[in-house]
Chains A and B, each alone.
Chain A
Amino acid sequence: MHIEGMATVSENVRTRSVVMAGVGGQGTITAANILANALILHGYDVKTSEVHGMAQRGGSVISMVRFGESVASPLVPYGGAEAMVATELLEALRNLYYLAPEGRLICSRARVDPLPVLQGAVSYPEDAEQRIGELAPGSIVVDAVGIAAEAGDKRAANTVLLGILSTSLPVSEGEWLSVIERLVKAKALESNRNAFLEGRRLAQEA
């Protein structure tokens, strides 16, 4: 008795994953939601997973988006993400184990000192960006906040990263923009649109 709509092994292998890593309060849930809706619009089955509660108070947070014909687990297996979007350098390194060996890392050149660093118990690894380059060849590290500021609002930094990510996903520019229009508040729309397109342009040029 095989249930209709259930995944078979081969379909599961085809489940694709993107991980968004950041610091509580940086808006990874919102960014993941935009991505998930764009993928749905394109016709995929989608599952996401996110973190609420205590970690949102400045802890490490991670949102996961999985898509394909039929998705089972909402959690990404280790080494299973074809792309990782990180809104902070340390969080990119911390969560690297989710990225597939050939996966694409897109990271904001942002530094948020965690508590042990604030305390001076340990220091922030000054070579974080360099280590990202070594450990994840082909990674893209950009000043997302600066680019977003130029696009109209530094708070649209995550949308710059989504724009970069967009070039490796089979979702059209029009589909992306229509989801951004639907999910972003009217007064932030213009800057988010610009931020997205700027990110997309950067990646296409690279």
Chain B
Amino acid sequence: MAERRLMTGNEAVALAAFHAGTRFASAYPGTPSTEILENFSRYEGVYAEWAPNEKVSLEAAIGACLGGVRSLAAMKHVGLNVAADPWFTAPYIGVSRGLVVVSADDPEMHSSQNEQDNRYYAKAAKVPMLEPADSQEAYDLTRVAFEMSERFDTPVLMRMTTRVCHSRSIVEPGEPETVAAIPYEKDSTKRVMIPGHARMRHPVMVRRLDELERFSEEFGWQRVEDGRDGAGVVTSGVAYQYVKEAFGDVGILKLAMTNPLPSRLITDFCSRYEDIYVVEELEPFLQEAVAALGFKPKGKESVPRVGELNVDNVRAAFPELSEVEPPEVRRVQGIPARPPILCAGCPHRGIMYILARLKAIIAGDIGCYTLSVLPPLSAHDCQVCMGASITMGHGLEKALELAQGEDGYEGPGSHRVVSVLGDSTFFHSGVTGLMEMAYNNGRYTVVILDNRTTAMTGFQHHPGTGITLQEDESSMVDMEMLARSLGIKNVRVVDPYDLEECRRVLTEEMNRDAPSVVISRRECVLKVRDREPVYYQVMQGVCNECGLCMGIACPALVKRGEEILILPDSCTGCGVCAQVCKHEAIEPVRQ
């Protein structure tokens, strides 16, 4: 028997999947879900992969479960948007061996572009959903999820949140099981969703939902904790922990399975209390269900609907339930904010600086480079989701072109439109955008920041690095050839540390009346092992403190009083600042 261990929720899901005999797992990295696959891949005898995107990973997992082995797909909340197409039809065809999908939501948007509540996805697709509240539950419920999946012939959603994924707590793992593969058998009426078949399958799903609701009523993990008289709280996930700590011995209905909800259990619980409270993160998902059963729960009128919960805001929402006075706290005002920033020597810095200087209208994307939206680089104009840079750029360019055709138009010209995205994002969902540009006669410029990794999520490989999750060599996509084969004739590669080259090539391509791709290629500085033994220094006396170099926002370049200087320990020797300086006041020093 395995020992008690301190594990993150993500590690616990990975271990549980392994112990449940899961053989196949696929994911695209995304905070806060990334470590699930990284950990799972280290176990003996499993197959694990980075897929180019979440749709691909879910489809591969569906195939693998039909192929007869337990399978897992893990993604961040917005990843399920990408995978929504297979997500809604997978429950029609059901499973052979179990299929579990993990959605890691990010309330507070610690590292995300929105804070959508993916519980609605379970409801919308009629998929059962489990919500763990700590690592032990993440472990236990993952194992339950596989059993449920096979028993009810459906995928199961494990809905996690940042504070479950990235908090550590003690896990006592169970016994590992060996699960034999189910020999493949053809079953096309069940698995080929032509309308005639799908019409037969949908009623099956509806009946299944009824069975699942009965299961949810009896499910041992739905927990009633008796408390003092008067008030009862309905909650789920990590919110339960905050309720526990804020309100002490209040009566609690802690739901571990939140789709389908156990109506009878909720009714029984709520009937016993005069005042019903619902405490949940993000949307009033439970609150609406409790209200629909005829109760008048207190919830989102007081509990924040935006951002994540904690003991303090839960207590503040319902002070009448708390017996503890919150302590006095010292809030220090006027502390300069510390937003994230591109690393010293980051290869994105130079080219983003030049793009901003060229007054490009930048349709951006998701990755470290998005940080260049902040002043002083102030580079981006818009950004929505993975891959949208190229396609939004397409629409922008067409619109500006149409506008330019109007009399008296005074806005910017369409040639200024530039789409910027990273290599991993390009393979995730930029390729179809490039097809759109080539096929529909786009004449703007796409810049691919090829830093040879998925940096933001912790340096994962992707099809462009040609190395797998297990660090094995594999086939590598040739970005230039791919772009050319899609019909883009102007494909050029620049070194983002060479500002003159960047400026020249970008100016040419932005003014060209044809689609172009500029690949800015240099490895992420945090991945570079053998650095040039060089750092730069500001020659005091030559430097006239004009501050131009400060415009690149390098954390190694600091202003102390009037003096500008470079911190030798932080400087990576990229030389970008020296090229920006007009007075030749920044010079390399060999170490």
Contact = CB atoms under 8 A, between A and B. Distances in A.
Contacts of B111: 52-55
A59 B341 contact: yes
A58 interface: yes
Contact of A91 (B34, B223, B338): B338
- Of B31, B550, B555, the most chain A CB neighbours within 10 A belong to B555
Contacts of B169: 45-48, 71, 74
Contacts of A118: 341, 550, 553-555, 557-559
A12 B397 CA distance: 59
Contacts of B338: 23, 58-60, 90-91, 94, 114-115
A54 B245 contact: no
A14 to B, nearest CB: 12
B553 A115 contact: yes
A53 B337 contact: no
Contacts of A2: 225-226
A97 B336 contact: no
Given A117-B336, A131-B332, A52 B32 contact: yes
B163 A72 contact: no
A74 B241 contact: yes
A176 B32 CA distance: 30
A7 B311 CA distance: 15
Contact of A57 (B242, B326, B371): B371
A40 B168 CA distance: 12
Given A59-B341, A72-B244, A94 B170 contact: no
Interface residues of A, number: 67
A74 B238 contact: yes
A46 B248 contact: no
Nearest to A135: B330
A101 B328 contact: yes
Interface stretch (A76-84, A156-164, A166-174, A185-193): A76-84
Contacts of B31: 52-54
A120 B170 contact: no
Interface in B326-342: 326-332, 334-342
A9 B167 CA distance: 22
B336 A124 contact: yes
A47 B167 contact: yes
Contacts of A45: 169-170
A172 to B, nearest CB: 18
B376 interface: yes
Contacts of B110: 51-55
A199 interface: no
B330 A97 contact: yes
A204 interface: no
Contacts of A36: 6, 168
B456 interface: yes
Interface string A79-113: 11000000000110110111111000000000011
B312 A78 contact: yes
A54 B456 contact: yes
Contacts of A12: 244-245, 248
B310 interface: yes
A75 interface: yes
- Of B167, B245, B334, B376, the most chain A CB neighbours within 10 A belong to B245
B341 A115 contact: yes
A100 B327 contact: yes
A37 B6 contact: yes
B546 to A, nearest CB: 12
Contacts of B281: none
A15 interface: yes
A79 B324 CA distance: 13
Contacts of B326: 77-79
A51 B166 contact: yes
A184 interface: no
A73 interface: yes
A58 B167 contact: no
B340 A24 contact: yes
A40 B330 CA distance: 30
A8 interface: yes
A30 interface: no
Nearest to A114: B338
A1 interface: yes
Nearest to A96: B330
Contacts of A8: 248-249
Nearest to A15: B245
Interface string B20-36: 00000000000110100
Contacts of A3: 223, 225
A98 B324 CA distance: 17
Contacts of B245: 7, 12, 15, 72-73, 77
Contacts of B547: 120
Interface string B251-264: 00000000000000
Nearest to A111: B558
B518 interface: no
Contacts of A54: 31, 110-111, 340, 371, 456
B524 to A, nearest CB: 11
A119 B330 contact: no
B168 A33 contact: yes
A75 B166 contact: no
A29 B334 CA distance: 26
B335 to A, nearest CB: 5
B340 A73 contact: no
Nearest to A47: B169
Given A37-B6, A53-B32, A122 B336 contact: yes
B323 interface: yes
A21 to B, nearest CB: 11
Nearest to A131: B332
A57 B376 contact: no
Interface string A17-38: 0000001100000000100110
Given A74-B238, A131-B332, 10 more contacts: A8-B248, A13-B324, A51-B110, A51-B166, A54-B31, A79-B326, A99-B330, A115-B341, A116-B336, A119-B375
6 pairs of A and B residues whose beta carbons are closest in the complex = A53-B111, A53-B31, A79-B327, A74-B167, A59-B340, A9-B248
Interface of A: 1-3, 6-9, 12-13, 15, 23-24, 33, 36-37, 40, 45-60, 71-75, 77-80, 90-91, 93-94, 96-101, 112-122, 124-125, 131, 135-136
18 contacts: A1-B224, A3-B225, A45-B169, A49-B168, A52-B34, A52-B111, A55-B110, A55-B340, A57-B342, A74-B168, A77-B311, A78-B327, A80-B311, A113-B555, A115-B341, A115-B374, A117-B336, A122-B336
